[in-house]
Amino acid sequence: MTKYVWKDPGTKVRIMFGCAALIAVLVFIDGLLKGEILRALAGAVFAWPFLTFMIKGVPVPEEWARSVGRQMDNILSMRPGGTSRVFHWVIIALGVVIGLASFFGAYLLLTASLDTIESFLPTAARGIRRAAERDSEMSERMGFAVIFIFAGGAALFTAWKRAKE
């Protein structure tokens, strides 16, 4: 037979259980006041588990609780290799994608029209327009591109360091 343990669902979930229990208690009281036995019984049947969950927590099979606890310890571990290999390579791939997207963004900032830039980065487009009025459009574009190049380089460097682990 499976053994169950009570797990704390958190404050927000306890509040939701409490609200559901309160509604069920109101249905129970309304059923008693109107003399409708089935309505009172339905209110009691729904109020009891929600009050129990609110006070004691949620029953979870002990095996599941131990397994999830081990997995969460592994996920939240700060030691190298603490996470799964799949997660490790997904993070590396994500770093490469972000890095390449940043380099592409720098390229677009240097070569694209202001309308194209405005559809993705309206603040940068406004800054470039203001700079164009002062005849320094290219230096403004270069400033934004340098930020994107720096971010892309940092993302690719981080992905490379993770891949070497």
Q: pLDDT band for position 77 (50/70/90)?
A: low
Domains identified in the chain, total number: 2
Share of the chain above pLDDT 90, in %: 58
SS3 content of the chain, % helix, strand, coil (to 5): 80, 5, 15
DSSP-assigned states of every residue in 143-164:
HHHHHHHHHHHHHHHHHHHHHH
- Domain's final residue, options 81, 101, 116: 81
Residues 64 and 125 in one domain: no
pLDDT in tens, 61-75: 998 888 888 888 777
Same domain, 62 and 104: no
**85-111 and 137-164 are packed helices; what angle lies between their axes, rounded to 10 degrees?**
170
What phi, psi does 77 have (nearest 5°)? -70, 140
Q: Are 14 and 63 part of one and the same domain? A: yes
If asked whether residues 91 and 128 sit together in one domain, one would say: yes
* Residues 3-36 pLDDT 10s: 889 998 899 999 999 999 999 999 999 999 999 9
Beta-bridged to residue 58, according to DSSP, are 7
Q: Do 34 and 89 belong together in one domain?
A: no
pLDDT at 165: 76
Q: Which of 40, 58, 81 is the last residue of a domain?
A: 81
Range of the domain at 91: 82-164
How close are the terminal C-alpha atoms of the chain, in Å? Answer: 44
Q: Which of 81, 104, 125 is the last residue of a domain?
A: 81
Do 96 and 139 belong together in one domain? yes
For the record, the structure tokens of 109 come out as: 């900032």
What are the phi and psi torsion angles at 7 (to 5°)?
-110, 135
Q: Are the C-beta atoms of 84 and 48 separated by less than 8 Å?
A: no
- Give residue 158's pLDDT: 93
Supply 46's token pair: 């729904």
For helices 137-164 and 122-133, the axis angle rounded to 10 degrees is: 140
For 118, counting Cβ atoms within 10 Å of its Cβ (0-12 exposed, 13-18 middle, 19+ buried), the class is middle
Confidence at 83, pLDDT banded by 50, 70, 90: low
Confidence of residue 85 (pLDDT cuts 50, 70, 90): confident
